[in-house]
Homo-oligomer: A and B are copies of this chain.
Amino acid sequence: MDKKLIGVDLGGTTIKFAILTPAGEIQQRWSVDTNILDEGSHIVPDIITSINHHLDLFEMTPDQFIGIGMGTPGTVDIQKGTVIGAYNLNWKTLQPVKAQIEAGTGIQFAIDNDANVAALGERWQGAGENDDDVILVPLGTGIGGGIIANGQLLHGLAGAAGEIGHVTVDPNGYQCTCGKKGCLETIASATGVVRVARDMAEEYAGDSALKRQLDDGEEISSKIVFDLAKANDPLALNVVERVSYFLGLALGNLGNTLNPAYIVIGGGVSAAGDFLLTRVQKYFNEYTFPQVRNSTKLRLAVLGNDAGVIGAASLAKQFA
């Protein structure tokens, strides 16, 4: 019988687990709540206990596994297998995750940050068609990103490669939490879309349900903005156009720089689907030069929440 892979997707709320075949098929999956109490000191023991418990349950042994891969928030030393500064886990000090999990399970372990791991997942089993050159741009509360080039994740000197959310698209634009102005994240993340909507509503004089909701102080979300745009609300359409312009410009320049096979748009905002994709594609075409326009393809992510465990499991293929 082929040996299996284990993928672990560690988040601030939930830890997701899956057992996969080497071909990437999920055979088992489960999850546990993340216990961030006591400076997150329960997290790694909980992961070990949960893996060992499920191996017992499935009547499997460590030697039946190629390895465990994990995606995590925070700053990862992939060689040493340590994590620091994962604030939503309360991990402020250095966590020797690899050493602990290998000792606790008897299975080899590899780790990378969650954005990179999600990119590996979409590349392997999702929209990336297992190509050697794939970029994932997840539009969530913020915008992360993972770049795979020549078949390898890029990390850069300080682990900051792939931070596409902090590409400057509007030099005189909104202030970003990172300290500079006009980051893509300030416009095209879920919070960015709402920011653009509030900003454009102030100057909008026509009739718009979106403007009424904002003026009435209702809570709005990027989903509400896109839903109203799909229903032809004129202000919402303007907001989506503006977001798509900056996203198309940023993704176009990613294409001009790296010429990947696929740039995959993921995260919550990508739920807007083809309505978003066609608009971003228009600006992408405008801001890419012909060789890139005719080769690099924009796509929507297809794995949803599974990208994490699948990409994490793919990290463990190195032990095969």
Pairwise interchain contact A254-B257, C-beta atoms closer than 8 A: yes
Asked if A109 CB lies within 8 Å of chain B CBs, one says no
- A39 → B minimal CB distance (Å): 24
Pairwise interchain contact B167-A257, C-beta atoms closer than 8 A: yes
Q: Which of A188-209 contact B (CB under 8 A)?
A: none
Pairwise interchain contact A150-B154, C-beta atoms closer than 8 A: yes
Pairwise interchain contact B161-A257, C-beta atoms closer than 8 A: yes
Asked if A13 CB lies within 8 Å of chain B CBs, one says no
Pairwise interchain contact B257-A158, C-beta atoms closer than 8 A: no
- A83 → B minimal CB distance (Å): 16
Pairwise interchain contact A259-B180, C-beta atoms closer than 8 A: no
Asked if A57 CB lies within 8 Å of chain B CBs, one says no
B131, B168, B249: the one contacting A256 at CB < 8 Å is B168
Pairwise interchain contact A158-B258, C-beta atoms closer than 8 A: no
Asked if A1 CB lies within 8 Å of chain B CBs, one says no
Pairwise interchain contact A292-B163, C-beta atoms closer than 8 A: yes
In Å, the complex CA distance between A294 and B164 comes to: 17
Q: Given A179-B289, A287-B168, A288-B180: A295 and B259 within 8 A (CB)?
A: no
B176, B257, B259, B289: the one contacting A178 at CB < 8 Å is B289
Q: Given A150-B152, A253-B253: A260 and B291 within 8 A (CB)?
A: no
Pairwise interchain contact A160-B287, C-beta atoms closer than 8 A: no
- A290 → B minimal CB distance (Å): 6
Asked if A286 CB lies within 8 Å of chain B CBs, one says yes
A121 to chain B: which residues have CB within 8 Å?
none
Pairwise interchain contact A292-B183, C-beta atoms closer than 8 A: no
Nearest chain B residue, comparing its CB with the CB of A288: B180
A291 to chain B: which residues have CB within 8 Å?
158-160, 163
Q: Which of A122-161 contact B (CB under 8 A)?
A: 131, 133, 147, 149-150, 152, 154-161
A161 to chain B: which residues have CB within 8 Å?
133, 149, 257-259
Q: Which of A263-296 contact B (CB under 8 A)?
A: 286-292, 294-296
Nearest chain B residue, comparing its CB with the CB of A135: B257
A162 to chain B: which residues have CB within 8 Å?
257
B163, B168, B259: the one contacting A156 at CB < 8 Å is B259
Using a CB–CB cutoff of 8 Å, the interface residues on chain A facing chain B are 131, 133, 147, 149-150, 152, 154-164, 166-168, 171, 176, 178-180, 183, 249, 252-254, 256-261, 286-292, 294-296
| Apart from A158-B295, A254-B257, 18 more pairs, CB < 8 Å | A147-B258, A149-B149, A149-B154, A150-B154, A152-B152, A155-B259, A156-B258, A156-B260, A156-B296, A157-B259, A157-B260, A158-B259, A160-B291, A160-B292, A166-B289, A171-B249, A171-B287, A183-B289
